[in-house]
Amino acid sequence: MPEAPEVQTVLSTLEHQIKGVKILKAKIYHEKLSANMEAETMCKSLKGQSIESFFRIGKYLGFETQDYDWICHLRMEGKFYLMDAIPEPKDKHIHAIFTLADGRYLCYHDTRKFGRMYLYPKTQDKASLPCFQKIGKDYLEMSGHELYEKTRKIKREIKFVLLDQSIMAGIGNIYADEILFASRLDPRTPANHLDEHDCDEIVAQTKRILQGATRAGGTTIRSYTSSLGVSGRFQLELKAHKQEGKECPICKGTIEKIKVNQRSTYLCPHCQKRK
């Protein structure tokens, strides 16, 4: 699933390409893609709207038009592509086509059909929109103290907590491993065993790693590719995730693979301490 850096890469690419462009026509072919209204209603609402600005909260990307906040969650396989022409016959995995005033087509492609779109009347307070009511603060807005307050009564593993989007939004499996490696914490550590210093370190490493990954374009592990064929390069910097059997860059020991909450997890058992 695209994590915050991948979503930001998509967003930045699209912002560069289609900011200010008007939508002449919208067509949604998979009814469930339109999550909070009928697909036909969403298409009619977007017709004639110009895309004025872009925003991201966690793993959600947002387009702001004159009248609406248009939100998309890419889930596992969702991608946006810009095309000069729609191939005939249409690719069966293209589930929405937005005809743009400059002659191009913004196409939403999703092989697994898990992605969802939401449309709301425009508001300044994006976090108040209904689709974000169970989403915590974006990682860029989180402080160590806030993370400590949210987790000091949680007995679940810290790896599980980092993946919980209701606590801090934007982190997925890849970056959780990297954050905990950089923080020198065993992913099986109960969250309520962490002190405020540990939470400060987790938040600092989260911002450092995810912002670095954003500058590098995210990762290409699994099938992630951003719009216009821009692929991530952060996989070249991974220290723990998918490094099973390789030498730890810190202690020269061996990176191991375990399961935490049914998720494949990578760690250095020497460097990462369980509290």
Whether the CB-CB separation of 159 and 265 falls below 8 Å is answered with yes
59 an active-site residue? yes
| Given 22, 263, 274, 275, the catalytic residue | 263
Residue 234, SS3 per DSSP: helix
Beta carbons of 110 and 73 less than 8 angstroms apart:
no
Angle of helix 144-151 versus helix 196-216 axis, rounded to 10: 120
263 is catalytic: yes
Residue keyed to tokens 């069966």: 92
| Partner residues linked to 57 by β-bridges | 60
Which entry of 56, 59, 150, 159 is annotated as an active-site residue? 59
Q: Which two tokens stand for residue 274?
A: 């369980």
Nearest to 118 by CA among 129, 106, 133: 129
Active-site annotation, residues: 2-3, 59, 263
